[in-house]
Chain A
Amino acid sequence: MNYKTENIKQINVSKPLKLDCGQTIKDFPLAYETYGKLNEAKDNAILVFHALTGDQFVSGINPVTKKEGWWVTAVGPGKAIDTEKFFVICANVIGGCMGSWGPKNINKKTNEPYGLNFPVITIKDMVKAQETLLDHLGIEKLLCATGGSMGGMQLLQFCTTFPSRTFSAIPIACSASHSAQNIALNELARQAIMADPVWDKGKYIKKNIQPKNGLAVARMVGHISYLSEKGMQEKFGRKLQEKADYEFSFDADFQVESYLRHQGYAFVERFDANSILYITRAMDYFDLTKQFEGGLAGAFQNQKIKFLVISFSSDWLYTTKENKDIVIALNASGADVSFSEIKTDKGHDSFLVNEPEFLKTLKGFIDSMHIKFKNEKRI
């Protein structure tokens, strides 16, 4: 990636953080962005956790890539998460590459980029790092925390590790433990990167180059998994890319090929290959059922947080069943939980695109929670 990440908001996390791998870190950067204003009562803060390839730039124009924020469909003035009413916070995960501590950062001990010397981090490590941001911003309790995909996984971790720090939570299209299929797809992405000779066991970063081909293939795998079979058929079918007939070559004859190549190579411009390795690993290690006695229901014991779990009918990456397992566990522990399955052909991507039923549900829940949270604060 060629972008400069100098002029973005960062805090220095000075508090020591013991990682799941055993290593303790301190004095590391955490990059973040906020939208809207925190009101005086501090009852309007919403924390967003980003997904695998996301970053802190949720809304507006991403100042680094100059493209729209990854969740402009849902977050902004007058949107479902209305930044004229709410104070929206998002941090770049550790292990990422948009300003937070990650494998492309300089290891102070060696004065070289970490590369594969970066410790293997977990979803829990990411969440613990982000909790310090709430202290920095002076927010004791959030109105709501939300996130889709890996963002949803971080959210579930956040709710079990810091149950008193949010009033409500909306996990979207996620899972409480990464499935074999998802681990397999992540492995495919990692192997694509590692098979690129430029990768060179992660040392490419010292040479200021990027294993573009491997990273692009990794991204293509992702893009296939974000769509549904039906959605893909409707969007591309067998349509040819700006040509009347087959070229009898291996160029991108089909529109779907052209789409994947475009997505793959555009991604290379903004993301670090080693970050993909580390973040996908964190997702694979995620298993909330293992962390608590009594499995998932044990994880959610004594939860006061009001949950809304949302799944999408055509999502085969994080299926409705996996999302329902979260609901069942929350029910079993007596937690306050709502669940909605949105009927759509847009696959896992549904939470990122304009899906009116989803956005209406999101807005309805957050607005009703705001009223309840204000009442709770008054008492």
Chain B
Amino acid sequence: MKKEFKVIADLLPENVRVLDVGCGDGSLMNLLIEKKNIDARGLELEQENVKKCIFKGLPVINGNAETELHQFPNQSFDFVVLSQTLQAFYNPEKVLKDLLRIGKSVIVSIPNFGYWKVRTSLLFFGKMPVTKTLPNYWYNTPNLHMCSIKDLFNFCESKNIKINKVVGINGDKTSEIKKSNLEIKNLFSKLGIFLIG
């Protein structure tokens, strides 16, 4: 089980309604249903993944989060989860706004472009970084809007989006990120998980 999913599961209370946007093969939904008795729903673009979810008996809607979030009514979920896909949207700002409309709270995770290995890749080798969390090359990456933990932190503040909690992940280690340790955590976290709204 991915560390990221464990952290997300820990952030969520039991028995709530969760929409998992870009739910993949349903691993996170399965975890949330089993561990927390959560009423989980998924939205997924890839046909193969949709099929996998259906086989597991997980409710999943085949659709594109970029264009089809309008179908979900205002505040119809307690939480909306977006795992490592924000950076792949054409218009992440609009998607984030939609997520905050649908969910009372939103959990967003991002691969951190401020991570030191990413920084050194560009600094010392002059090449776009290829890491475990960013496995693709510049020409085939789905990521259009890479950002760092600090970027998303600043974005939320500038848009008056309430930041409830930020967790940084590096390997098996997790740590809470606050404004006071933002610089250092932005350098050492591979992944950032934001609970906002």
Contact = CB atoms under 8 A, between A and B. Distances in A.
Given A338-B60, A341-B62, A331 B54 contact: no
A42 interface: no
A120 interface: no
Contacts of A336: 41, 59
Q: Which of A306, A328, A340, A342 has the most CB of B within 10 A?
A: A340
Given A327-B61, A328-B71, A340 B51 contact: yes
Contact of A364 (B55, B61, B72): B55
Interface stretch (A220-228, A241-249, A367-375): A367-375
B51 A337 contact: no
A371 B73 CA distance: 30
A338 B56 contact: no
A360 B53 CA distance: 12
Q: Which of B51, B62, B63, B72 has the most CB of A within 10 A?
A: B62
Nearest to A328: B71
B76 interface: yes
A332 B70 CA distance: 11
A308 B62 CA distance: 11
Given A327-B71, A332-B73, A334-B76, A361 B59 contact: no
A304 interface: no
A343 interface: yes
Given A327-B71, A331-B73, A332-B73, A368 B56 contact: yes
Nearest to B57: A368
A338 B47 contact: no
A200 interface: no
Interface string A346-379: 0000000000010011001101110110000000
Contacts, number: 59
Contacts of A342: 47
A99 B127 CA distance: 74
B54 A364 contact: yes
B21 interface: no
A331 B72 contact: yes
Interface string B63-92: 100000001110010000000000000000
Contacts of A339: 60-63
Interface string A315-344: 000000000100110011010111111110
Interface string B181-193: 0000000000000
B50 interface: yes
25 contacts: A308-B54, A324-B63, A327-B61, A328-B71, A331-B61, A331-B73, A331-B76, A332-B71, A336-B59, A337-B59, A337-B61, A338-B53, A338-B60, A338-B61, A339-B61, A339-B63, A340-B51, A340-B54, A357-B51, A360-B51, A361-B51, A365-B54, A365-B55, A367-B55, A372-B57
Given A338-B50, A364-B51, A367-B55, 8 more contacts: A306-B59, A337-B61, A338-B61, A361-B51, A365-B54, A368-B57, A371-B57, A372-B57
State the 3 A-B residue pairs at the shortest beta-carbon distance, nearest first.
Answer: A368-B57, A364-B55, A328-B71
